[in-house]
Amino acid sequence: MTARGTLAAWALGVCAFVAPAVALADTAPSFWERARDPEATARFALHTKVRQILNFEAENPLVRFGALDRARAVLEAEHAESSPDPRLRFDLGEVYNKLELHEDAVRVLGPAVREHEAHPAALDAILALAESHAKLDHPREERDAYRLSLAHAVDPGSRATVTMNLAEAEMRLGDLKLAIATYEEAIGIASTLPSGSSAHETTALAMWGLAVALDRAGESGRAKSEAARAASLDPNRAILGGPKVFFVPAYEIDWYLAIGAAAEAASATSPHDAFDYRKIAEDHFRAYVTKARPEEPWLPLAKARLREAERLRAAAERVAKATKRPTPPPDPSQTFTF
């Protein structure tokens, strides 16, 4: 599970932290810079236009992708990949990332970030590089990019999200002990943020990730507790399934949904509700096992979890069958008063 697109939202609320870097990143060339390099003004103008497109959030994805594709064409025509202005190199890589051209994004952003990681405009580029590595299922490179981001990021909201994503990369690499500690760190950072939707979402996602990491580490008691906490923050899984969240591989979400349903079953007050949730948990573990690649490191454990889910579902079904389902309340829309 990786969350994306949160830096801009946090920047609106904590501009005191990020405004100086943003201002420096988008400073027009000085008189002396223009004298030394007559093309500097044109490059800065192109950078400014591209940033407007990158920050453009159109409801219609076709409109947004059309604008991004035009930006890509102009940047490529201006040979941005080899530009003396690192901002144009960052811009091109970020455009590639948003267009889901992740191999191109890595090709452009990898060298640009290595050469200019201290540049004020580098932070967005580093996050785009991390996201492209995540989409390409390069957890080691993704982890390294998030670590680099944390070495430069000062905004606590961004640090909370990046720390959470770093924990996910550590889990993908199989270091569950470090992943658990990093998820806990992300939750701790998020707890210091002003209350609001961004803090709530980051906390919920970090708790979901922590629950999965604990479950895979064999700490079932803590895993169930964290899954219950996550489910209480995200009761309809709207955050887990939100547009800013993606899973690599895609079937990874089934593990999250399975332990969420199991947590709901454990707290259900009706035997029939408990059975329904146990069935959902079983279905999601079965989906994970069915979709998982043969080399998936968590597949043997997923099969064990599926067997356990089948057993718990069968037990819940027996109790539900022996219990009369309560009569649902009348539908107000079907009640007529004359």
Contact 205/239 with Cβ under 8 angstroms? yes
**CA–CA separation, 5 vs 16, rounded Å?**
20
As a whole number of Å, the end-to-end CA separation of the chain is: 55
Per residue in 183-210, pLDDT (tens digit) is 999 999 999 999 888 999 999 999 999 9
pLDDT score for 148: 98
Q: How far is CA 45 from the centre of its chain?
A: 32
Fold of 1-12+40-153: 1.25.40
Q: How many residues does the chain have?
A: 338
Contact 132/105 with Cβ under 8 angstroms? yes
- Three-state SS for 291? helix
% pLDDT > 70, the chain: 85
Among candidate residues 5, 64, 58, 1, the one with its CA nearest the CA of residue 241: 1
Over range 213-241, report the average pLDDT.
97
Burial class of residue 326, CB neighbours in 10 A (0-12, 13-18, 19+):
exposed
Angle at the Cα of 48 from the Cα atoms of 47 and 54, rounded to 5 degrees: 85
Mean pLDDT of the chain: 88
Write out the DSSP string of 46-105.
HHHHHHHHHT---SSHHHHHHHHHHHHHHHHHTTGGG-SSHHHHHHHHHHHHHTT-HHHH
* Tokens 């210091």 found at: 192
Over range 313-332, report the average pLDDT.
84
pLDDT at 179 over 80: yes
pLDDT score for 92: 96
pLDDT at 305 over 90: yes
pLDDT score for 51: 84
Contact 281/311 with Cβ under 8 angstroms? no
Domain segments of the chain as ranges: 1-12+40-153, 166-245, 249-323
**CA–CA separation, 33 vs 197, rounded Å?**
43
Instruction: Give the bridge partners for 246, in sequence order.
Output: 2
Contact 214/224 with Cβ under 8 angstroms? no
Q: Which residue has the higher pLDDT, 35 or 89?
A: 89
pLDDT score for 17: 28
* Tokens 């580029």 found at: 125
Angle at the Cα of 310 from the Cα atoms of 305 and 316, rounded to 5 degrees: 125
Q: What is the DSSP letter of 3?
A: E
pLDDT score for 61: 74
Amino acid at 50: V
Q: What are phi and psi of 3, to 5 degrees?
A: -100, 140
